[in-house]
Chain A
Amino acid sequence: AQKITQTQPGMFVQEKEAVTLDCTYDTSDPSYGLFWYKQPSSGEMIFLIYQGSYDQQNATEGRYSLNFQKARKSANLVISASQLGDSAMYFCAMREGLTQGGSEKLVFGKGTKLTVNP
């Protein structure tokens, strides 16, 4: 089974509007972290936001917020007030076993291509 599922291959949004990018995950580990990265056409992955499994509140970083629904195992990224520069690939990722010295690897989804229209 896939650990990270991103069901939207592509999304379109008008400039200045909000957009939600979906991410569901699969783990039996009680301690894990969820990350979102942005990959523009230049190729460099850029960290956006982090949510820990024990965090009580949804993470926010400027225009980015994470809608964390633990029971549903979803961690959707919300981008408010979209800008043309937000056009890029967006990847959801998970690291498991945070408190038991688990694997250091991040497992990534297949990504969602976001296009912001003027």
Chain B
Amino acid sequence: DTGVSQNPRHKITKRGQNVTFRCDPISEHNRLYWYRQTLGQGPEFLTYFQNEAQLEKSRLLSDRFSAERPKGSFSTLEIQRTEQGDSAMYLCASSPWGGFGHEKLFFGSGTQLSVL
């Protein structure tokens, strides 16, 4: 399977715990994005990488959130001291970059986080 892979698919945690999600993009894609989707809403942009460089972060990404993409391959999103408001679907996407702005994003199936 050459699509975007996210692990785990589901994560249940207690408030205050730290969680980490992993995303493996399509191998030839140099851009990787993280979005968050809450129930009844469209996805909201969190951050994106070009290769290993994190080029843009949303104000939604508080200091409890950190994302990395070492060596420009897979990426991890960590949430420290989780809160109930962090419960959401976390979506990862990747794309090639041709410099035109119309490159489509390829999404993974997401990680559903539930904070109890």
- Name A's B-contacting residues (CB within 8 A): 4, 31, 33, 35, 37, 42-47, 50, 52, 91, 93, 95, 98-99, 103-111
The smallest beta-carbon distance between B6 and chain A, in angstroms, is: 9
Residues of B contacting A104 with CB < 8 Å? 31, 33, 48, 55-56
- Name B's A-contacting residues (CB within 8 A): 31, 33, 40-45, 48, 55-56, 58, 89, 91, 93, 100-102, 104-110, 112
The complex places the Cα of A95 from the Cα of B101 at a distance, in Å, of: 8
The smallest beta-carbon distance between A75 and chain B, in angstroms, is: 14
How many residue pairs link A and B with beta carbons under 8 A? The number is 59
Q: Which residue of A lies closest to B9 (CB)?
A: A43
- Contact status B43-A43, CB under 8 Å: no
The complex places the Cα of A99 from the Cα of B89 at a distance, in Å, of: 31
The complex places the Cα of A103 from the Cα of B45 at a distance, in Å, of: 11
The complex places the Cα of A106 from the Cα of B108 at a distance, in Å, of: 16
